[in-house]
Chains A and B, each alone.
Chain A
Amino acid sequence: MTILFVVLVLGAFFAPYRVLRGPSIPDRVIAVDVISVMFTSLTALMGLRYRLAYLLDLSIALAIVSFVGTLALAKYLEKRSLDD
């Protein structure tokens, strides 16, 4: 179980590289989205480990919030072009 936590967190450490270095804005957006989904699965695993059901509520809320944020940024990008 602890090994799974460690592997998941180490995997999540790949994404900030793309947030810092990503050549364009959508790269950063998708990297932040991936980080939030990794934390969704991390909190779910924590809920299983400590038998705390409210951590699953946290993961549902995180999934919805990241969905809304990504969708808003996608609409914003569609209205704006790279030139201005």
Chain B
Amino acid sequence: MTDVLGWLCIIAGVVFNVLGCLGLVRFPDLYNRMQATTKSVTLGTCGILFGIFLMSGFDELGVKALVAVLFVLINLPVASHALARGSLVFGVKMWTKTVRDDFSRDRGEAPAIEEQEQ
């Protein structure tokens, strides 16, 4: 039973990881790409590691997989948040069809949205 659940977690994790990498290629601007990759790659990696824990139980392998889940779950969103903020301050513009930019409004600057090309 736990073996089947572990396999399901691992397969779902691999699918999420590959879809995240596809999003890295296909999405239009930096912030869209960052959200696609960070969310789905975090979920996929946590799925793979949790599946390893389910398959091997509380032995050496399983406990290390749980610790790795903890690190990935904390580190990846924090790093991505810092990078998004840093690149907005750095001056990377958003996609042309973006509707609003609250971060620049709160800082009292013009919205960092790329102008529509004719």
Where the two chains meet, the residues of A that have a C-beta atom closer than 8 Å to any C-beta of B are 4, 7-8, 10-12, 14-15, 17-18, 24-27, 29-31, 33-34, 37-38, 40-41, 44-45, 47-48, 51, 53, 56-57, 59-60, 63-64, 66-67, 70-71, 73-78, 80-83
Contact = CB atoms under 8 A, between A and B. Distances in A.
B79 to A, nearest CB: 4
30 contacts: A4-B11, A4-B14, A10-B18, A11-B17, A14-B21, A26-B83, A26-B86, A31-B24, A33-B80, A33-B83, A37-B42, A37-B45, A38-B17, A38-B41, A44-B49, A44-B52, A44-B68, A45-B10, A57-B64, A59-B49, A60-B67, A63-B68, A63-B76, A64-B75, A71-B79, A73-B83, A74-B82, A74-B86, A77-B90, A78-B86
Nearest to B65: A56
B83 A40 contact: no
Nearest to B18: A11
A24 B95 CA distance: 13
SS of B interface (majority): helix
